[in-house]
Amino acid sequence: MAYTTRYASFILTRQVSPYYYSSSLSDGKLTGIYLINDGSAGNPFPAPTEYLTYAPGDKTINTTFYGEAAINYNHVFAQKHSVGVMAIGTLRNYLTGNAKNLQLSLPARNQGVSGRVTYGYDSRYLAEFDFGYNGSERFAGNHRFGFFPSVGGGWVVSNEKFFEPLLGTVDNLKFRFTYGLVGNDQIGNPDDRCFY
């Protein structure tokens, strides 16, 4: 699986400053029309223009590329032993096209390999081992990758013989325990690149 996303936005202003007039009346009769925005100092109105002005604003352009490859294997042996194996490799690249400084112009990259091995006996007893070996450019070269394992076990109580009388009330009951380590590269402000 792979995809790319491109986001672009911009802000601009094009305008004409109009002429502003004020009229004066005396005894209900019009006595004059005066230009208000004459460009004099202290005048709160912008001076009139007869041409179109242009003022550029913020522009944002960024691109994300993501790729993933996975393999899976699942099989049941002797109708009781269920085995599953999965491995996934991922990579992600994020790039800002019009960054405001050097740090924001650097690509943000992640890559890693994750995997899982599962075993189930008779749809009652379950065991699982997971791992992630992931890397981020936000860390120094000698600490760029980390290994993050986890283990888990489960017991599907509702598949036990002694639980059959309760299946009309509770059709699925499973207890599960997992323990593992995780990593995080979302540290600091995006402007704080390579602060290691």
| Residue spans of alpha helices (H) in the chain | 102-105
Query: Model-level pTM?
Result: 0.70
d(CA 115, CA 42): 70
Residue 21, strand partner residues: 35
Question: What per-residue confidence (pLDDT) applies to 185?
Answer: 87
Question: What per-residue confidence (pLDDT) applies to 140?
Answer: 86
Question: What per-residue confidence (pLDDT) applies to 109?
Answer: 92
Question: What per-residue confidence (pLDDT) applies to 32?
Answer: 86
Q: What percent of the chain has pLDDT over 90?
A: 60
Work out the pLDDT band at 9, boundaries 50, 70, 90: very high
Q: Which residue has the higher pLDDT, 102 or 152?
A: 152
Return the structure tokens found at 110: 């992640």
Q: Is the pLDDT of residue 19 over 90?
A: no
Q: What is the pLDDT of residues 123-145, one digit of tens each?
A: 999 999 999 999 998 888 898 99
Q: Is the pLDDT of residue 193 over 80?
A: no
Q: Is 27 left (phi over 0), alpha (psi -120 to 50) or beta?
A: left
Work out the pLDDT band at 77, boundaries 50, 70, 90: very high
Say how many C-beta atoms besides its own lie within 10 A of residue 134's C-beta: 19
